Amino acid sequence: MAWVYEIGVAKYFSTPQMQNNATEFYNYFTNKGATLESICGMLGNIQRESTLNPGIKQGSSTSLGWGLIQWTPSTVLTNWCITYGYNWYDGSAQCERISCEGEGTKGAGGYWLPTSEYAYSWSEFLAITDVAEATKAYLYERERAGVVALNDRLQYASEWYEYFSGTPVPPTPPTPPTPITRKSMPIYMMLRKNY
């Protein structure tokens, strides 16, 4: 397999095209030591941004977003690709850019920004074992799109988890209630008949 792309505005992908590119993305980040959960968290966000088409453009202007995560302005992606000899629409190059942003390498630092609520370093993010947490962390630390379509992103991430693992995302176990402490009753009260 290889990355597929269609360059242009509103070039949304079908399910088989997304699955092909999700597999390429999965293989790249698995080799970087990422958990399935962190990969699916990224994929949930990326599906919402681009339907996993690395050639998609938000518009023809370079001031708009292009690529998997809709780099805005698009020159953030295109200039970096020129510097390192990549085609901007190449999914492998965009995975490399995403990784470099997290690691702060190859001139791509400053894009992974931990927040007070999601204070994960890149290496901590790659080790997350909860799909919803990874989806939110990627949204708030990299995409920074607020809560725009958060439910869509969470749903897509869950679907990618099921696609790759063959099982639904395990439910989060409920928090056990705090036990109530009582003083013991005198024995005569327990034996007393209720009328």
Q: Is the pLDDT of residue 97 over 90?
A: yes
CB atoms within 10 A of CB 70: 19
Whole-angstrom distance, CA of residue 140 vs CA of residue 118: 7
- Residues 60-77 have a mean pLDDT of 92
Verify whether residue 24 is a known catalytic residue. no
**Of 6, 24, 37, 49, which residue is the catalytic one?**
49
- Asked whether the whole model's pTM tops 0.75, one would answer yes
How sure is the predictor about 100, in pLDDT bands with cuts at 50, 70 and 90? very high
Task: Please state at what angle helix 150-165 crosses helix 36-50, rounded to 10 degrees.
Answer: 130
pLDDT tens digits, one per residue of 160-187:
999 999 988 776 666 667 666 666 656 6
pLDDT tens digits, one per residue of 10-37:
999 999 999 999 999 999 999 999 999 9
Q: Which of 21-25, 34-38, 121-125, 147-151 has the lowest average pLDDT? A: 147-151
**Residue 44, CA distances (Å) to 35, 48, 75, 107 in order:** 14, 7, 24, 26
- 144 φ/ψ angles, rounded to the nearest 5 degrees: 50, 45
